[in-house]
Amino acid sequence: GVKAPAEGRHTVYVWLRDGAGNADHTTAVAISDAMWYDGTSPVTVVSHSAATGLNGWHVEPVTFAMSATDTGSGLREIRLQVDDGPWQAVGGSYTLAQEGRHIVRISAVDQAGNLEPPHVFDMPIDFTPPQTIITGPGLYQPNARFEVSWTAIEGASGVAAYDVYARDGFSGAWQMWLQATRLTSAQFDGQRGRT
């Protein structure tokens, strides 16, 4: 039934009282730091830096920097969880280099077992440029107007849009044909005798 008066370490003084109510405080025994109470969670400061591309996607691995403080029992560890994986103890930094959309949770725990509510980060990562595949017509066309098709091999973020260029001959300057299009094919108006 003894309660700590406040958070922190407390010294307990014990002395005896007999059935008649006699007590001698000079015989008290002091027990230093006999009662420790910490009901406050640690506090973690988290920052991360990575180049951000379109629509919030990070275009390089993301490094988290973490520091935690605990004024009570002291810090035990900083923990990190990626997606639904296991919690793992990390030091002051962690680099996430796996492409895809990830949820990262970071939390600290102190020596008393108090868990900090997790800091949650939505981390979409895609640092691989798409590869375009053009399925144009055969080498020679009987008509000046012909269809050109294209697609992209893209993993994490998907294709936002296509910019399609054409040039006159192998050494001509590239000219914009279609800009920021979602199309994957179009009719090209060429000129007879030209490449």
Give the whole-angstrom CA distance, residue 115 versus residue 42.
7
Confidence of residue 130 (pLDDT cuts 50, 70, 90): confident
- Between residues 91 and 180, which one has the greater pLDDT? 180
Give the whole-angstrom CA distance, residue 191 versus residue 34.
93
Count other Cβ atoms within 10 Å, centred on residue 181.
Answer: 13
What is residue 26's predicted lDDT score, i.e. its pLDDT?
A: 84
Contact present, 106 and 44 (Cβ < 8 Å): yes
Confidence of residue 176 (pLDDT cuts 50, 70, 90): very high
Closest listed residue to residue 74, CA positions, set 164, 8, 167: 8
Give the whole-angstrom CA distance, residue 138 versus residue 149.
12
Give the whole-angstrom CA distance, residue 79 versus residue 89.
4
- Between residues 66 and 26, which one has the greater pLDDT? 66
Confidence of residue 6 (pLDDT cuts 50, 70, 90): confident
| Residues of the chain above pLDDT 70, percent | 100
Give the whole-angstrom CA distance, residue 119 versus residue 105.
5
What is the end-to-end Cα distance of the chain in Å, rounded? Answer: 93
Contact present, 104 and 82 (Cβ < 8 Å): yes
